[in-house]
Structure 1
Amino acid sequence: MTELTPELLLHGYSIGIFPMAEHRDDPEIFWVDPRRRGVIPLDGFHVSRSLRRAMLRAPFNIGVNTAFDAVVAGCADRQDTWINDEIATLYGRLHALGHAHSLEIWEGPALVGGVYGVSLGGAFFGESMFSRRSNASKMALAVLIERLRRGGFTLFDTQFLTEHLASLGGIEISRASYHRQLEQALPRRASFTAPEALSLQDVVQRITQTS
C-alpha cells in the first residue's frame, strides 16, 4: 500500500473509502469500501426518554477539540481495535490541519467519553467513540449531531451499522446511495468549530423542540 499521508486520507474519504488495520499490533493498513454503509440521518437521531433524563441529570461538561489524542487513545483502549499506532498518528496530523475533530465528555478533570471523526465539506465521517461512564458515548453522539446540524453538515457517515447505532436512529444504505449523498455533501460549506458550545441540558432542550 502507498504510504499514507493526511492528503491521501482526505482523498480516500472524498471518493468514499476509509482506512483500517486488522488490530492494533498489525502494521498493515487497508482501504475499506463497504457494500452497505452505515449513516445516521441528521433529522433521524433517536433520543430515548431515559437518555434525555440522564442527560439532564449528568454532571458532565462538553469539550470540542480539547483532547483529540486522548479521545483516539480512549477509542483504541479495548481488546479488539482497528486503530494502530500509524492510524492514531495520521489522524493526529489531520487534526492539526483542521480536518479531524473530537467531542469530549468530561466529569470534572476526567475524560469519560468521546467521539472523533473527519470533516470534509458538508460530510462528517465518524471514526470511533468510547465510554467510561454509563451513556457517555450516547451523550457524545447526541451533542455531535446537534453540532453537525448547526454547522451546516448534511451527511453523517458511521461506516458500519451496529445494534448500538441502530438504536439511535442509524440506518444502512447501499454503496450507490452513499456515493450520491457524499457527492452532494462535499461541495457544501460547513464548519465543525463555528457553532457555540452547548451543555447537555441545552442539547436536550433543542432535541425536544425539534422532535
Structure 2
Amino acid sequence: MEFTEDTDCIIQRYAQGYFIMANETGVLGWYSSCQRALIPLDENFHYPKSLQRILNQRRFSVEINRDFLGVCRGCAERETTWISPQLINIYYNLYKQGWAYSFETWQGNELAGGILGIAVRGAFIGESMFYKVSDASKVAMVKLVEYLKKRDFVLFDAQLQNPHLERFGAYKVSDIKYKILLRQALAKNCVFGNTR
C-alpha cells in the first residue's frame, strides 16, 4: 500500500484499521496486526495500587495539546523508536487539522510525560507514550481512560501489546474482532476537546 502524507488519506487508513510506522531505515509505511492490543474502557481497566496514592497526592496536572511537539519529541527520544522526524511532521499536520492530540502530565511549568494519539470519532488510537518524571505516563494513562469514558469513546487502541500495558488490563483481540469494534467506534460522534 503506497504511503502518502495527505491528511484525508491518512485518516481513511486509520479508519480501515491501519497504523503508520517507520522501518529500521526510517521509511514510513502502513501496518496492521493479526492481533491488536486494546486498553479497556470499562471495569476491566485497572492499575497498580501504588499508583492510586500518587493520584491522590495530585502530583501532576493534566493538559491537552499544551506542548504537542514536546510530547512527539519525548516519544521519539529513546534508543529504539519508529517515530522519525518525518512522522513527527505528519503528526503535527494532523494536530493542526484537529485529528492528533497529546494528553499531557505537568509538574508546574515542566512537561512530565504524555500520550500521543489520533482521535477518529469514537476511536482513540494511541501512538506512543513517554515520561520524564517517574509515574507521569501512568497518571496520563489513568486520566486519559477516565476522559475517554466520560466522552463515550468505544475504542482505545494501543496497537501492540507489551508488559507495561498489561498492567492496565490491556488485552489482545483478533484483527476481525478489532475491525468490528472499529466500525462501532466510527459510528459514534465523540469529541476530543479540552480537559474540562
User: What corresponds to 1:167 in structure 2?
Assistant: 167
User: What corresponds to 2:87 in structure 1?
Assistant: 87
Q: Is the 8 A contact 1:6 1:91 kept in 2?
A: no
Give CA-to-partner distance per residue, 1:57-105, whole Å, 9 cap, x none. 2422111111111101000010110001111001101011111111111
Matched, 1:193 2:193: yes
SS, match of residue 141 in structure 2:
helix
Q: Is the 8 A contact 1:151 1:194 kept in 2?
A: no
Structure 2 unaligned runs (5+)?
Answer: none
How many residues were matched structurally? 194
Identity %: 36
User: What corresponds to 2:18 in structure 1?
Assistant: 17
Matched, 1:177 2:158: no
Q: Is the 8 A contact 2:39 2:157 kept in 1?
A: yes
User: What corresponds to 1:208 in structure 2?
Assistant: none
SS, match of residue 34 in structure 1:
coil
Q: In structure 2, how many angstroms separate the alpha carbons of the residues matched to 1:47 and 1:40?
A: 12
**What amino acid maps onto 2:121 in structure 1?**
G
User: What corresponds to 1:205 in structure 2?
Assistant: none
SS, match of residue 127 in structure 2:
strand
Q: In structure 2, how many angstroms separate the alpha carbons of the residues matched to 1:185 and 1:195?
A: 21
Structure 1 unaligned runs (5+)?
Answer: 197-211
Q: In structure 1, how many angstroms separate the alpha carbons of the residues matched to 2:90 and 2:108?
A: 29
Q: Normalised by the size of structure 1, how large is the TM-score?
A: 0.88
Q: In structure 2, how many angstroms separate the alpha carbons of the residues matched to 1:106 and 1:2?
A: 35
**What amino acid maps onto 1:80 in structure 2?**
T
Deviation at 1:3, TM superposition (A): 2.7
Moved more, 102-111 or 167-176: 102-111
Q: 4+ runs of 1 displaced by more than 4 Å?
A: none
User: What corresponds to 2:107 in structure 1?
Assistant: 107
